Structure 1
Amino acid sequence: MRTVDVERTIPAPLPDVFEWLTDASNFQRVPLVRRVTLVRPGDTNSHGAGAVRLIVTPLLRLTEEIIEYDRPHLMRYRLLKSVPPLRHQEGSIRFEPVPAGTRVTWSSTFEIDAPALAPLWTRLALPMVRGGFVMVLRTAERELRGA
């Protein structure tokens, strides 16, 4: 298993950053994201705990479930299904107020589920996963600055 960690400070209030990043429908405006579908709404919030969402990009198709939703500080998720197949330990997005806005820390631990060379395929996938997180955070920052 390998972990991708991305940290970025977004110059916007904590509640706004939390709401933007936990509402996966916003990801449709991220470059290379083709489609986002809320498969099942969450227990108390449509994108909260219990929600299942499908995210489709040219290289990945992910079905993930929100397993913890602590507004406005933390969202944790796990993959239910993916193409290509991934073994996923957990992902999380943490939010912390700072003088410049909101510090976001996005972390995901995974590996490519391959019969051979899984560590190599996983190492090759790391920049793609990191790049995806960065694109989502950049889009959030751009849109929240204009708000």
Structure 2
Amino acid sequence: MKIGIISDSHDNIDAIAKAVEILNNSNVDLTIHLGDIVSPFCFDWFKKLRSDFLGVFGNNDGEVLFLDKKSEGVLHKPPFEVEIDRKEFILMHEPFGIEKLKTQYDYVLYGHLHKVDIRKTDRGCIINPGELCGCLTKKRTMVILNTTDNQTQLITV
């Protein structure tokens, strides 16, 4: 299964639109957002994804009720545990207990730091796709994960 992983889009519509285009052209099956979408209007662009969408709230997601409504309930309070493609995932915005979690889950996904972190583990991977918005590092990045062969691809948007 191909999964697009993004985080920290912070209302950057240009970056979101480009990411959606890349994810659609890459034929991902699922897109995961790891928090800090920020404004509900961003879902007008995320709804253009041809993949399913799943995510968690971040610390800058202030309009939680309207974000929840616009997302039609696909955003969850972190940490969020989910099984995808017979693999155990934990999704969070702020990193907490990653070294312990990597022994309990196949995939530990987080955002918040605006810094790329891709590490193989005995069970799978730890992934922070960096920031989609590009506001701190001036780099707009995301990751495509293939759960079949545990391969990751860092993509500059």
Is the structural similarity TM-score above 0.5? no
Q: In terms of Rg, which structure is larger?
A: 1
Q: Which has the higher strand share?
A: 1
Q: Which has the higher helix share?
A: 1
Task: Report 1 or 2 for greater relative contact order, CA contacts < 8 Å, sequence distance ≥ 6.
Answer: 1
Query: Which bracket does the TM-score occupy, shorter chain normalised?
Result: 0.3 to 0.5
Q: TM-score, normalised by structure 2?
A: 0.31
